[in-house]
A and B are shown apart, each in its own frame.
Chain A
Amino acid sequence: LAKTTQPISMDSYEGQEVNITCSHNNIATNDYITWYQQFPSQGPRFIIQGYKTKVTNEVASLFIPADRKSSTLSLPRVSLSDTAVYYCLVGDGGSSNTGKLIFGQGTTLQVKP
């Protein structure tokens, strides 16, 4: 079972770039890495997904080294509205083939003015 480890919390200021690193030593060959954002009392929102190297979309970038044992979510120029919990997930690395995701504790990002 692919387990992820992230910092429990991070602080930043408006306008700064924020990098959140996640380790996933047991990632399976076919697994992708997906990041979600969650605000209080809301369902998680998809941010970005990748397999290797770098992926970029309109809200974030995802950096994945060659060994894929970690990944870094990069949020450019954060604002107060980016204050949320960020979850890093990989597919089920066990023998099952259900595509289920196991959530870790996530990283609570606090953006200050």
Chain B
Amino acid sequence: GAVVSQHPSWVICKSGTSVKIECRSLDFQATTMFWYRQFPKQSLMLMATSNEGSKATYEQGVEKDKFLINHASLTLSTLTVTSAHPEDSSFYICSATGTSGRRGTDTQYFGPGTRLTVL
């Protein structure tokens, strides 16, 4: 149980275009989803937290107009990288929890990640 998928697994795009990444919880309802970014040889950096039906909460330093997050249903969240630039090239990973998001007790299950390369 607790499977999270991401699509696509990798994407290459031209600078200035927008890219959408989907995150789905396959066998549970995800009330809260998280988006992370990971650069080579570095740890995961939390970008934003999204609750179903609400606006996402972004971490300090993350541009909400550049990284659009939508969590329209209990099984799907999307991250859209708008006007992508080479510096946005990274490994994007989502995770999901299946309860109310209360701190400390909810296990996050992670997707396999999406490798974005912006030319």
Contact = CB atoms under 8 A, between A and B. Distances in A.
A44 B102 CA distance: 21
B103 A98 contact: yes
Secondary structure at chain A's binding surface: helix, strand, loop or mixed? loop
Interface string B87-119: 000010101010001111111111111010000
B57 interface: yes
B39 to A, nearest CB: 12
Interface stretch (B42-50, B67-75, B77-85): B42-50
Nearest to A104: B43
Given A41-B115, A100-B34, A31 B104 contact: yes
A101 interface: yes
A36 B44 CA distance: 12
A28 interface: yes
Contacts of B93: 43-44
Contacts of A36: 110
Contacts of B57: 98
Contacts of A87: 43-44
A49 B107 contact: yes
A42 B112 contact: yes
Contacts of B102: 30, 97, 99
**B6, B46, B103, B110: which has the most chain A beta carbons within 10 Å?**
B103
Interface in A56-113: 87, 90-93, 96-106
A34 B46 CA distance: 16
**8 shortest interchain CB distances as A-B pairs:** A91-B104, A31-B104, A43-B110, A91-B103, A99-B101, A103-B44, A103-B43, A99-B106
Interface of B: 2, 4, 6, 32, 34, 36, 43-46, 49, 57, 91, 93, 95, 97, 101-113, 115
Given A46-B110, A99-B106, 10 more contacts: A30-B104, A31-B103, A36-B110, A41-B115, A42-B112, A97-B102, A98-B49, A98-B101, A99-B102, A103-B46
Interface of A: 28, 30-32, 34, 36, 41-46, 49, 87, 90-93, 96-106
